[in-house]
Amino acid sequence: MYLRDLTSRITAGLDSVGSLERDLIRVLAVAVTALNASLYIADLVQEQQLYKLLSEYDWVWSVAYNPTVQHFHLRILAALLFSTIFIWSLKARRLIISLLALQIVGIEYLKWYLDSVSTKENAGIERLPEPSAAGFYGASNWDVVSLVIAALLFIWHLKILIQALRTPASGRGNNAISGAPEINTT
């Protein structure tokens, strides 16, 4: 019963979102997904160029090639694509699934950052070699832009959920959080 009530409150919160805000969120979701797709494709192209350059030296290839950044880009892209698909319809359950996908994006960026810190400590250096941005080894400034946009989308999702939790259940007169009857003090 509570889940159905929560779903109806989230739907009401989504219904209160203006069309301009919906369109902006959709454009941001598509833009950040497209940006990450281009970053992943750039990783693949760079890998092929490096392989062509070093393919005759097997031992160099095994040392020079590190697919870690490419794997981060792929997992972030998959989560963003999932989030974008589910955010498009703006339904209650899909909003929650989209929020979970954005949490995965945040977790991947956190893992990337921790991996970068570990790489820096293991190498005994104070500063990450290029390319790196904002403490992420192998990242470009576009990765930072992607992180910021994904964070904004996450915050927007949370805003809608918090509004829904603060909205009283329709027609029941219950407190939105606890389910207890509201007390009229006037």
How do residues 117-160 score in pLDDT, each as one tens digit?
888 888 888 887 777 888 888 888 889 999 999 999 999 989 88
Rounded CA separation 105/80 (Å)? 7
Contact 21, 155 (CB under 8 A): no
Q: Which residues of 29-43 are buried (b: 16+ CB within 10 A; e: fewer)?
A: beebbebbeebbeeb
Half-sphere exposure of 29 (CA within 13 A, CB side): 29
Give this prediction's pTM: 0.74
User: DSSP label at 182?
Assistant: P
Closest residue by Cα to residue 108 from 155, 147, 153: 147
Alpha helices by DSSP H, 16-140: 19-54, 58-64, 68-87, 92-123
Structure tokens at 35: 């940006």
Q: Please tell me the predicted confidence (pLDDT) of residue 66.
A: 64
Residue 87 one-letter amino acid: I
- Kindly give the confidence (pLDDT) of every residue in the chain, 186 residues in length, as a single tens digit, with 9 standing for 90 and above: 566 777 777 777 777 778 888 888 889 999 999 998 998 888 788 777 776 766 666 555 444 556 788 888 899 999 999 999 988 877 788 888 899 999 999 999 999 999 988 888 888 888 877 778 888 888 888 899 999 999 999 999 898 888 877 776 554 444 444 444 444 455
Strand 132-133 and strand 136-137: pairing? antiparallel
Domain chopping of the chain, boundaries: 2-166
Enumerate residues 6+ apart whose C-beta is below 8 A from 44.
70
